Structure 1
Amino acid sequence: MDDDPVLVSRSGGVAHVVLNRPAARNALNLAMCHRLSEAFARLDADGDVRAVLLRANGPAFCAGADLKERRGRDEPWVRSRRLASFRAYESIERCAKPVVALVHGPVVGSGGEIAMSCDFVVAAGDATFRFPEPHWGTVGATQRLQRVIGKRRAKELLFTARTMAVEEAVAVGLVARTVPAGELLAAGERLAETIAGAPALAMSLTKQAVDLGSQTDLTSGIGIEMAAIERCLADGGWRGGVDAFASGGGPGGGPDGRTGPENGAGR
């Protein structure tokens, strides 16, 4: 398992996917692309998985693409390798389960693509972000990055290859929240347990409705949400949520609108 570029484990309803090339600063190579695609296909099909944490071993989340593996390769090989990376990102993005990225240290190029393929990013205070693809003689991160932070900010980062500190990443919406480096995993596990504790169908449909709604206008988006509501009504599990709310239990809190410390209030 130590030689596996991606480690997968599960604790209850929470799965952990771990980038595992610490000696290479978790640089994305072909084997890692294939393993990410395989791992998320399996997790997507596993009914017992309710949430996924994607993190990394070693001092860096991901130092970008492993350019060393391209030495001596021809253009068709490089093209095929890039397509493998796109499939890996898409497998993360298409997973019906909520996927949270826990990032630390340098997040470069393909590392940013992996993080942006997740539903949101929680970052350690030492995280930094850089998108140097044009300076490496290639093109990358041109699509997800602009959709996350806007076209002009994306151009500035890509054109200059500058390093963006985690505080700026929060300000522009690339990162949802930060935590001290030593608390990253524990904070992620608390978040994942909260997500996993929600009704699975409602959570899956919420993710689907947000993703589909982002691609259309508001009126069509409301139609998408209504269709999701109808599925929840047909399933019947919504009654348990109403009962939990009325009794003051569960992540939604009681009828006074309060939430307890188990939901991260005050953190």
Structure 2
Amino acid sequence: MDSCILVEQKDGIGYLTLNRPEQRNPLSVTMMTELTEALRAFGADGAVATVVIRAEGKVFSAGHDLSELVDRTLDDERAIFGVCTELMETIQRIPQPVLASVQGPAVAAGCQLVATCDLAVAAPRAVFGTPGVKIGLFCSTPMVAVSRAIGRKRAMQLLLTGATIDAETAADWGLINEVVAADALAERTAELAAAIANASSSTLRIGKQAFYQQIDLPQAAAYEQMGEVMATNAMTCDAQEGMHAFLEKRPPVWQGR
């Protein structure tokens, strides 16, 4: 069977493309496993500065493959959602920033995937939602990422009604970063990825890890831990180089350490 995803690398950007457009790019166990493995491979590749997750066809992802969830044992169900959790945690665990480039609807676990990525850009025809309540399967795992992205009340609105929101609303709510014309989506995504890639790879790694470390901590604990992170960051070669370059009014030369 052909791979569920396309993997390519160009100009320091790793691209992962969901490639089951006829089935609306469902997050089957196979697709989720392939995504996780590819993300780990990019994560270990020093030549990759950023990663983009995108999709073929009209739909970004319709969520889990429901055919895998019917007539299964409890252990089967646990295993499937365990694979999903591992994918989402891998996105935030690898050192490179991960961008979602959303050309069409992203619902249920597809919405979770977008919410989990570090940044997201969408075309106007994209819509977002967690419609599981309509089929008796509450979107409890998507809720984890979505509620952290848009807050309690807005997340509950999506979860309890199963309704979708358009791309402009998603941007306003903080689920995605921006909306761009469909014919400019690929260019804008690459532009954003390239802008991030201009930074020191070691600084990006430190910053991404620190962000997720502090985001759910009480303020006092966050300041205590991030003060230590920033102090140790300041001692790195790239931080010293960057500060010297700024003071000397010249471009920095990163070493990745």
**1:180 matched residue in structure 2:** 181
Q: Matches of residues 1-267 of structure 1 in structure 2 within 5 Å?
A: 3-140=2-139, 141-246=142-247
Q: TM-score, normalised by structure 1?
A: 0.86
Identify which range, 214-223 or 88-97, moves more after superposition. Answer: 214-223
8 Å CA contact 1:201–1:232 kept in 2: the answer is no
8 Å CA contact 1:209–1:221 kept in 2: the answer is no
CA gap 1:202/1:32 in 2 versus in 1, 3 angstroms: same
The AA in structure 1 aligned to 2:204 is M
The AA in structure 1 aligned to 2:205 is S
Identify which range, 185-194 or 79-88, moves more after superposition. Answer: 79-88
CA gap 1:181/1:94 in 2 versus in 1, 3 angstroms: same
CA gap 1:61/1:247 in 2 versus in 1, 3 angstroms: farther
The AA in structure 1 aligned to 2:193 is A
The AA in structure 2 aligned to 1:217 is P
Identity across matched positions, percent:
32
CA RMSD of aligned residues (A): 2.0
In 2, the alpha carbon distance for the partners of 1:249 and 1:135 equals 58
8 Å CA contact 2:115–2:176 kept in 1: the answer is no
CA gap 1:247/1:180 in 2 versus in 1, 3 angstroms: farther
8 Å CA contact 1:6–1:17 kept in 2: the answer is yes
**1:256 matched residue in structure 2:** none
Identify which range, 241-250 or 103-112, moves more after superposition. Answer: 241-250
CA gap 1:59/1:249 in 2 versus in 1, 3 angstroms: farther
In 2, the alpha carbon distance for the partners of 1:244 and 1:193 equals 21
CA gap 1:182/1:150 in 2 versus in 1, 3 angstroms: same
In 2, the alpha carbon distance for the partners of 1:229 and 1:160 equals 42
The AA in structure 2 aligned to 1:245 is F
The AA in structure 2 aligned to 1:177 is E
Q: Deviations over 1:60-83 (max 9, x none)?
A: 110111112334433332222121
8 Å CA contact 1:62–1:111 kept in 2: the answer is yes
Identify which range, 109-118 or 200-209, moves more after superposition. Answer: 200-209
Identify which range, 170-179 or 225-234, moves more after superposition. Answer: 225-234
- Secondary structure at 1:9's aligned position in 2? strand
8 Å CA contact 2:138–2:159 kept in 1: the answer is no
The AA in structure 2 aligned to 1:160 is T
- Secondary structure at 1:102's aligned position in 2? strand
Q: TM-score, normalised by structure 2?
A: 0.90
TM-superposed deviation, 1:41 = 1.6
- Secondary structure at 2:235's aligned position in 1? helix
Which ranges in structure 1 are unaligned for 5 or more consecutive residues? 252-267
- Name the count of aligned residue pairs: 250
TM-superposed deviation, 1:221 = 2.1
TM-superposed deviation, 1:230 = 2.9
TM-superposed deviation, 1:36 = 1.5
In 1, the alpha carbon distance for the partners of 2:143 and 2:230 equals 34
TM-superposed deviation, 1:194 = 1.0
TM-superposed deviation, 1:113 = 0.9
In 2, the alpha carbon distance for the partners of 1:17 and 1:246 equals 39
